[in-house]
Amino acid sequence: MEDILTRIRRTSKLGKLGENLAAEALEMRGFSNVKNLNDLRNNYPFADLLAERAGRRYFIGVKARNEERDIGGLNEAYNCVLVPDVVNKRLKAQGKSAEEITAIALAQVRTLAHQFGAIPAWIAIPIRPAKRAYAVYFGLLTDLGNRRSIPMTHVARSKYECLMGWTIDPRITSGLCNSV
């Protein structure tokens, strides 16, 4: 069993690497003015990057995850819009359903994006640490409907814009593997 500090360090490293891989993929695929929002404020709510393409600005949350779950099998969905436990409990105590809580969270993301004159979007990066490989998928938050997660089944991925197919990168190490 992986201890908590090791898990936090691994997920932090995975998140920072994911932001770098996402920014690089955006630039290679014709996006411009790519900016890391964490330079403005550490752990900016929802989004990590701003980028522009074809006259549109995007407010992008980056989600880098191991492609496989720590218990084996495909990680079929990546959390995209998080609702802190304390907020979730408070809203449930007020009688809000899971669907209503999701709608509230998505509205808050749209408000944040609007402050930047941007469209809320996401990048999902499945990582295969044992193969030192990753891929990059891009989509709009509206494409997820009233969901807080990004479906990452092979069928779902076929519907997303693939910014980078499977690519080998030396920054991806076995230290990013989930521990069992």
Identify the structural domains of the chain with CATH numbers, from first to last.
11-173 (3.40.1350.10)
pLDDT tens-digit series, residues 47-97: 999 999 999 999 999 999 999 987 888 999 999 998 999 999 999 999 999
Position 125 pLDDT exceeds 70: yes
CA 71/CA 85 separation, integer angstroms: 24
Q: Residue 1: its pLDDT value, please?
A: 52
Side-chain half-sphere exposure of 117, counting CA atoms within 13 A: 4
Do residues 22 and 49 make contact, with C-beta atoms less than 8 angstroms apart?
A: yes
SS3 sequence of 150-168: EECCHHHHCCCEEEEEEEE
**Average pLDDT in the 116-135 region?**
96
Q: Residue 6: its pLDDT value, please?
A: 80
- Angle, nearest 10°, between helix axes 85-93 and 98-115? 130
Q: Residue 172: its pLDDT value, please?
A: 94
Sign of the CA dihedral with 48 first, then 51, 56, and 62 last: negative
Q: Residue 7: its pLDDT value, please?
A: 78
**Two tokens at 119?**
């469209």
Position 114 pLDDT exceeds 70: yes
CA 31/CA 58 separation, integer angstroms: 10
Q: Residue 3: its pLDDT value, please?
A: 79
**Average pLDDT in the 114-118 region?**
97
Residue with the bigger pLDDT between 14 and 133: it is 133
Banded model confidence at residue 11, pLDDT cuts 50, 70, 90: confident
**Average pLDDT in the 95-102 region?**
95
Banded model confidence at residue 180, pLDDT cuts 50, 70, 90: very low
